[in-house]
Each structure stands twice: as C-alpha cells, then as structure tokens.
A = this chain, B = another copy of it.
Amino acid sequence: MIRFDSDYIEGCIPEILEALTKTNDEQCIGYGKDPHCMHAIKLIQNAINRPDADVHFMVGGTQTNIAVITSILKHHQGAICAESGHINVHETGALESVGHKCLIIPTNDGKITATQVDTLIKAHYEDESAEHIVQPGIVYISFPTESGTLYTKQELTDLYAVCQKHEIPLFIDGARLGYGLTASCNDVTIQDIANLCDVFYIGGTKVGALFGECIVILNPAYKKDFRYSIKQHGGMLAKGRLLGIQFEELFKDNRYLTIAKHAIDMAELLAKGFQDKGYSFYFPAQTNQLFPILDNEKLKELSQEFCFSKWATIDETHTAVRFVTSFATKQENVEKLIKKI
C-alpha cells in the first residue's frame, strides 16, 4: 500500500532526528524558555524580516487555533471564517468548547473575499438587534486553504484592508504554509504574510517536523499574556526544547522552503499525470493537495494499491478524491500512481 492520504504519514526530515539525538543529554529549562527555542525564534524573526514579532511554539494545529483566537476574542465575539474553515469543520467544536461561534461565509474553493467579510461586518452593525447576534471579532483564513487553494497577494491585501477598516484582526492558519509559499502559481512571500495579517502560524507538523506549529504575533495588541493562553489550552510542552530544536532545523539554510518545494514538485508531477489522462479537478490544483474527479470504477481499482481520501460525491458514477504529497513523498511512488491512472 502506498499512502497519499495526507501529509503527516511519514516521520520528519532526518536532520531533526539527528539534532534531537545530539541534544538529548542537554539539561534545558522547560516550557519553551530554553536556548533552542530562543535561537529558533531569532531564525524565524529573520526569515520574516520582523524582529519585533513575538514567536511561540505549539504542538498541534487545533490548540494553536484555539489559543490564538481565545486570546483575542471577547466573550460576545465570534470568528469569521469560510464554511470549510478548519476551525468550523474539523476541530470537534474546539472553538465552541471554549465559548465562541464560527461566523461562516459560503465558499466554493475554500477562500473568502474582502467583499464578503466587509458585507458581513457591515450587516452586523446595521442590524437593529446586533446585540442579539454574535459580534465579529476576528477573521480566520487558511493559506493554503483546506481546499488546497491560494490567496493572491492582491486578495490578501484587500482582505487585510477590510479588516483594518473595521478594526478587526486577521489571523492566518498556515498549517501548510510551506506548500503555499512554494507553489508555482503563488505570488506571496513569507514576509508578505507577516505584513498582511495580525497573527499567523507556520505549520511544522505537515512540513517536515515530527510535530510543531509556530505562532507569529505581529500586532502588539495581542502579545500580552499570550503564554497563559498557550498553557490554558494544553499547548505548553514541558520539554519545549523539542519544538525549538525542530524549528531550528527547519529554518536553517532555507530548509523549510526547500523541503516544501519537493512536495510541490511531486504534486505538479501528479497533477500533470491526471491532466494528461483528461481528468478534471474538483478544486484548482495549486498546492500539495489534489482533488481529481474519478469514476467509481477507477477509484475502486486505485484503492487496491494506494491510500487516498474520498472528498465529495459528484454524481452516481463519479467521486472527487484527495491525493496529498509531502516533504517525504517519493518520486517513484508518484510515478507508480501515474501509471495506474
């Protein structure tokens, strides 16, 4: 069985295991105050060219989203997000479990627009019974989205302008950030990201680390007391060094982008394979997640040898599925798959 069902099926880049082994006997203070975390913070501040940024390390995505959003929202506020946003559909209501509603915006491709956000916020304040409705308190987007699509620089710029107009922060979930930054169609740099939002996070789990997400807080208004929020949401790793060491390795020698680019190369190879055979895609093929539409016969056949996910029923005989590549995807496996398409 060859797995293409997600980008967290392999371990990590070998450099990380080497570094963990090399540093194993060091005695480090806990909870992210050790020298490795301090060094990784510097590397990331440099990479985004924002020495003023506050940088924190978390273990996983759900706790990252919750820690950020609850540290910002007041009790009567909610998070604007795409209907398909991870916080809305795939976190078992973690956000609601700590008190906040998702204010959802319909989407076809995982993206929401500046106009949609503007309309929603305006409509809220124009409503005579606004007080009976959850107040928009933050805008949450993913880059890339859960549908594998990307915002252009212009789209991000417009979204952030609307947020700033309404004095509401923009938070970018970058669980797959590397795979967005290195996509061929992408025109956004990591420095752009840092300048076009209030908070974002750099995904490690899906991009080469064993685990780990790196929160970057740009807006000074949201820096105070953030570590309380990390701890309250179970995100403060006792041996915080493990996160520091991993991000040291990921941000050494531009490695984060290099390894992400490999996944993109593999995805583009695979996308071409599908296109050459005349397959169409459910969402635009832009990053490391591909959503080809298969007839159900072919789906069944491929399932014998390859792992991938059903995504949506198209009609009685066709299904959209998801194939995912990663930093660790082997070209020979992609080629084996293409042969069977």
Instruction: Report the Cα distance A242→B205, complex, angstroms.
Output: 12
A45-53, A73-81, A147-155: which lies at the interface:
A73-81
Please state if A90 and B20 are interface contacts (CB–CB under 8 Å): no
Q: Is residue A2 contacting chain B, with contact meaning CB distance below 8 A?
A: yes
For A232, list chain B residues within 8 Å (CB).
75-76, 91-94, 97
Contact with B along A195-238 (1 / 0, CB 8 A): 00000000001100011000000000000010111111111111
For A12, list chain B residues within 8 Å (CB).
24
Instruction: Report the Cα distance A237→B206, complex, angstroms.
Output: 12
For A228, list chain B residues within 8 Å (CB).
76, 92, 131, 135
Please state if B97 and A242 are interface contacts (CB–CB under 8 Å): no
Contact with B along A1-13 (1 / 0, CB 8 A): 1110110111110
For A20, list chain B residues within 8 Å (CB).
11, 17, 20, 210
Q: Is residue A28 contacting chain B, with contact meaning CB distance below 8 A?
A: yes
For A3, list chain B residues within 8 Å (CB).
27, 29
Q: A10-B26, A210-B242 are in contact. List 11 more A-B contacts (CB 8 A).
A: A11-B26, A11-B242, A12-B24, A17-B20, A66-B234, A71-B74, A75-B99, A89-B133, A94-B234, A131-B231, A205-B238
29 contacts between A and B (CB under 8 A): A6-B30, A8-B30, A9-B29, A11-B23, A11-B26, A11-B242, A17-B20, A20-B20, A60-B238, A71-B74, A75-B232, A76-B92, A76-B225, A76-B228, A90-B129, A90-B132, A92-B133, A94-B231, A94-B233, A96-B99, A96-B100, A97-B233, A98-B99, A135-B228, A205-B238, A211-B237, A211-B238, A234-B234, A234-B235
Instruction: Report the Cα distance A101→B102, complex, angstroms.
Output: 9
The 8 Å CB contact of A75, one of B26, B29, B70, B309, is: B70
Contact with B along A52-83 (1 / 0, CB 8 A): 00000001111100100011001110100000
Please state if B60 and A75 are interface contacts (CB–CB under 8 Å): no
- Whole-angstrom distance between the Cβ of A217 and the nearest chain B Cβ: 15
- Whole-angstrom distance between the Cβ of A130 and the nearest chain B Cβ: 8
- Quick one: given A211-B239, A234-B235, are A71 and B75 in contact (CB under 8 Å)? yes
Interface size on A, residues (CB 8 A): 78
Q: Is residue A317 contacting chain B, with contact meaning CB distance below 8 A?
A: no
Q: Is residue A40 contacting chain B, with contact meaning CB distance below 8 A?
A: no
Q: Is residue A25 contacting chain B, with contact meaning CB distance below 8 A?
A: yes
Instruction: Report the Cα distance A229→B99, complex, angstroms.
Output: 13
- Quick one: given A17-B24, A75-B98, are A231 and B9 in contact (CB under 8 Å)? no
Please state if B91 and A231 are interface contacts (CB–CB under 8 Å): yes
Q: Is residue A337 contacting chain B, with contact meaning CB distance below 8 A?
A: no
Q: Is residue A254 contacting chain B, with contact meaning CB distance below 8 A?
A: no
Please state if B234 and A60 are interface contacts (CB–CB under 8 Å): yes
Q: Is residue A304 contacting chain B, with contact meaning CB distance below 8 A?
A: no
Q: Which residue of B lies closest to A14 (CB)?
A: B24
Please state if B90 and A78 are interface contacts (CB–CB under 8 Å): no
Nearest first, the 4 A-B pairs at minimum CB distance are A63-B234, A11-B24, A76-B228, A92-B232
Q: Is residue A162 contacting chain B, with contact meaning CB distance below 8 A?
A: no
Q: Is residue A134 contacting chain B, with contact meaning CB distance below 8 A?
A: yes
